[in-house]
């Protein structure tokens, strides 16, 4: 655990686990039938609810993001808001840690996680093989995909029409990978890489580029916020977003997965998604 300086937040399911543990240790024979049932319950509960979680800064849950990717993250009144901000706050609360955000370039997030500067990346980040070499991912929390955004009336009507075009993407994203990967057969005139989704949209609006390839929800948010853009109906990829965690911190990954499962079961996750996801 050389990357993690501070100890420790103990994650417990709550007083329940503690009181059951106390019963399990009891030697009161008059209640032995009850006690063994409770002891079993204790074992089950402690398997996935009790773990020592270490974070970069004691008591904090530092999440890295690139807050120019609505509706997952954007800046409002100097605060990072959106789906990922709400998920981070909820995870922090459930883990007994204070959620603290670090806004950075998207392609700096995984290096910040692996070098132990931050605990996790929560950034509409797609799970893929290449990233899994360097980090672990939580259970996915939403489905997404890349789409093509063009000015209304563009002669680009499908992926084949990207040949010979000036394409804009956010640097280091799966959209960047898609248009850069020779296997997808796109022969762009040029690929311009921007540091945020919003900047990529602005470049399209000012005709610096002819088309963008970007995640579906930020695409909708950009198109809805500006006149004269449209999204082509066929998505190019099917992706899942998850939280990336250092390979050196399995306990944190497990605690996050347990909290996400609870958030799914009690409807919290769906409520967060419903609040922000942009309809067609
Ligand atoms: N889903 C894409 C990827 O993982 C883009 C994510 C960009 N996120 C952001 N917060 N800017 O590569």
* Confidence (pLDDT) at 17: 33
Q: How far is the CA of 220 from the centre of ligand 1 (A)?
A: 15
* Confidence (pLDDT) at 54: 96
Q: Which residues pair with 136 in a beta bridge?
A: 245
Cα separation of 181 and 193, whole Å?
14
pLDDT category of residue 15 using cuts at 50, 70 and 90:
very low
**Is pLDDT at 187 greater than 90 in this prediction?**
yes
**Is pLDDT at 177 greater than 90 in this prediction?**
yes
Of 215, 222, 244, the one to substitute when testing ligand 1's pocket (max ligand atoms within 8 A of C-beta) is 215
Q: How far is the CA of 4 from the centre of ligand 1 (A)?
A: 26
Q: Which atom of ligand 1 is nearest to the CA of 67?
A: 10
pLDDT category of residue 52 using cuts at 50, 70 and 90:
confident
Minimal-distance CA residue to ligand 1 atom 12 = 173
- Is 167:192 a contact under the CB 8 Å cutoff? yes
What's the pTM? Answer: 0.83
Cα separation of 150 and 268, whole Å?
35
Cα separation of 60 and 161, whole Å?
48
* Confidence (pLDDT) at 259: 98
Mean pLDDT of the chain: 87
Exposed / middle / buried, residue 50 (Cβ in 10 Å: 0-12, 13-18, 19+)? middle
pLDDT category of residue 51 using cuts at 50, 70 and 90:
low
Residues having CB closer than 6 A to ligand 1 are 65-66, 69, 72-73, 106, 123-126, 170, 173-174, 197, 215
Cα separation of 118 and 113, whole Å?
5
Could you give the residue ranges of the DSSP H alpha helices within the chain? 15-24, 32-49, 83-95, 109-114, 129-132, 174-180, 197-205, 216-225, 250-265, 268-276
| Largest CA-CA distance found in the chain, in angstroms, rounded | 83
- Is 73:34 a contact under the CB 8 Å cutoff? no
Cα separation of 146 and 231, whole Å?
11
Query: Residues 167-180: what's their mean pLDDT?
Result: 98
Q: How far is the CA of 61 from the centre of ligand 1 (A)?
A: 20
Of 71, 123, 195, the one to substitute when testing ligand 1's pocket (max ligand atoms within 8 A of C-beta) is 123
Closest CA to 242 of 122, 155, 154: 122
Q: How far is the CA of 44 from the centre of ligand 1 (A)?
A: 37
Exposed / middle / buried, residue 267 (Cβ in 10 Å: 0-12, 13-18, 19+)? exposed
Residue-wise pLDDT tens digits, 216-260: 999 999 999 999 999 999 999 999 999 999 999 999 999 999 999
pLDDT category of residue 9 using cuts at 50, 70 and 90:
very low
Q: Which atom of ligand 1 is nearest to the CA of 72?
A: 10
Q: Which residues contact 222 (CB under 8 A, 6 or more apart)?
A: 149, 197, 198, 201, 214, 229
* Confidence (pLDDT) at 279: 82
Q: Which atom of ligand 1 is nearest to the CA of 125?
A: 4
Percent of the chain exceeding pLDDT 70 equals 81
């Amino acid at each position: 655990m050389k990357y993690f300086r501070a100890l420790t937040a103990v994650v417990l399911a709550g007083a329940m686990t503690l009181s059951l543990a106390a019963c399990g240790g009891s030697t009161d024979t008059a209640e032995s039938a009850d006690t063994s049932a409770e002891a079993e319950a204790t074992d089950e509960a402690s398997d996935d609810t009790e773990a020592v979680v270490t974070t970069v800064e004691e008591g904090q849950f530092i999440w890295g993001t690139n807050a120019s990717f609505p509706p997952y993250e954007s800046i409002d009144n100097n605060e990072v808001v959106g789906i990922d901000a709400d998920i981070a706050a909820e995870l922090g609360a459930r883990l007994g840690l204070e959620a603290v955000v670090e806004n950075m370039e998207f392609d700096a997030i995984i290096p910040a996680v692996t070098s132990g500067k931050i605990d996790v990346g929560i950034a509409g980040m797609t799970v893929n093989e290449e990233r899994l070499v360097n980090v672990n991912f939580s259970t996915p929390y939403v489905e997404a995909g890349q789409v093509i955004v063009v000015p209304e009336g563009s002669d680009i009507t499908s992926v084949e029409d990207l040949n010979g075009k000036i394409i804009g993407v956010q640097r280091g994203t799966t959209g960047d990978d898609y248009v850069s990967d020779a296997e997808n057969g796109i022969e762009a005139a040029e690929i311009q890489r921007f540091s945020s989704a919003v900047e990529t949209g602005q470049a399209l609006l000012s005709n610096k580029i002819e088309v963008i390839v970007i995640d579906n929800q930020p695409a909708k948010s950009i198109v809805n916020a500006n006149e004269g853009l449209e999204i082509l109906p066929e998505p190019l990829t099917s992706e899942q977003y998850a939280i990336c965690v250092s390979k050196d911190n399995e306990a944190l990954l497990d605690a996050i997965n347990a909290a996400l499962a609870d958030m799914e079961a009690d409807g919290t996750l769906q409520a967060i998604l419903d609040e922000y996801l942009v309809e067609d």
